[in-house]
Amino acid sequence: MQKNRNCNEKENVAGMKTSTRQNDIKIVKYNELEPCFDAFIDTRTPGSDKKENFTIIGPGVSENPNQHVHIMEPHGFNIGAARQPPACVNSQHSHDTAEFFYVHSGTWSFVLGEDGKDASVTLNAGDAISIPTHIFRGFENIGQDMGFLWAVLGGDDPGRVLWAPAVFDMAEEYGLILLENGSLIDTHKGERVSDTVKPMAKTTAAQVAQLQTLSAQDLRNSCVTSSDPVPMDKKSNSMMRKIVGPDGQLNWPHEFSVNEIRLAAQDSIALGKSATHQVLFGHIGSAEIVTDSDSVMLEQGDTATIARNTHRTLYNHSHSDAIIVVVDAILK
């Protein structure tokens, strides 16, 4: 199927509609995700021009106002994703809120620093990373197959990214100009900078100097691999690994918690009632989410959100384990 080459051409993507339910659960199926190929300033830079950006819950940090948001309802955090073919790069940038990635597929290199030379780590499917704020980071699919990163950004408004200076130079060479309001002008399409909104100033050396740096060990300490021993709760034949949160492996302040449930074959886990919206991501296998008045099957790559103050239970009806990632907002 030929996918859209930019966010203004959604009619070219057959069947790409967001699945929602009117009761307790809303779900975005993996095969119904609507990609944006020109979400950021580096979208034309060779090596970065084939990445797909998804805003699943909340507006994310996209610089394209036509980026499709699947679920707008505020959750206290944003859910997004990136799908990239081999050798596709996401350029060096910094965030003002927490950025957490769960590797759903592919082999990924994460690099830190203005030029990506401060530190690096390689992660595979089932691994996770949370890069602290105000640090230049970039990532590349270094595997042989298409890769998919599922992401959580802190806050309802995660702000905008700060790009490394060289990214502005490369973007302008390929016809893209970032404006002060966070939107993009595409000069190759005949668009012009208006008199009312100025181009965003290129990141200065002083701004770069204010950012943090991490050592290779610091970066590794920001990761949780699928084989790392981490805090966990065992429930029946299943277990919950605590990845992000006050009692998790990555326990510095975030605005959300992340747990990974390994739901054993033919087992179930009662998750109780949450005071916030709870988001579930299907990594491996499938599970039925059941609430007092609703149920839905969560399969690989799907993202579901459950309404607050709703009892929920996960059932694995299959003969193999399922792995589900669970995200909750941390109430202040």
Q: Out of 182-191, 201-210, 230-239, give the one with best mean pLDDT.
A: 201-210
Point out the domain boundary residue: 202, 224, 246: 224
Residues 67 and 185 placed together within one structural domain of the fold: yes
Residues 303 and 177 placed together within one structural domain of the fold: no
Nearest Cα to 24, choosing from 325, 313, 324?
313
Q: What is the mean pLDDT of residues 139-157?
A: 95
Q: Let me know if residue 5 belongs to a domain.
A: no
Q: Let me know if residue 60 belongs to a domain.
A: yes
Residues 142 and 76 placed together within one structural domain of the fold: yes
Q: Let me know if residue 243 belongs to a domain.
A: yes
Residues 214 and 260 placed together within one structural domain of the fold: no
- Indicate if the pLDDT at residue 179 is higher than 70: yes
- pLDDT over 70, % of the chain: 93
Q: Let me know if residue 30 belongs to a domain.
A: yes
**Sequence-distant (≥ 6) Cβ neighbours of residue 70 within 8 angstroms:** 18, 28, 33, 34, 54, 55, 56, 57
Q: What is the mean pLDDT of residues 266-270?
A: 94
The reported pTM is 0.89
The edge-to-edge listing of strands for the beta sheet with 162-163 is 119-123, 108-112, 137-141, 89-94, 162-163
Residues 20 and 124 placed together within one structural domain of the fold: yes
pLDDT at 2: 35
Nearest Cα to 228, choosing from 141, 131, 126, 142?
126
Residues 52 and 195 placed together within one structural domain of the fold: yes
Domain of residue 236, residue span: 232-329
- Indicate if the pLDDT at residue 15 is higher than 50: no
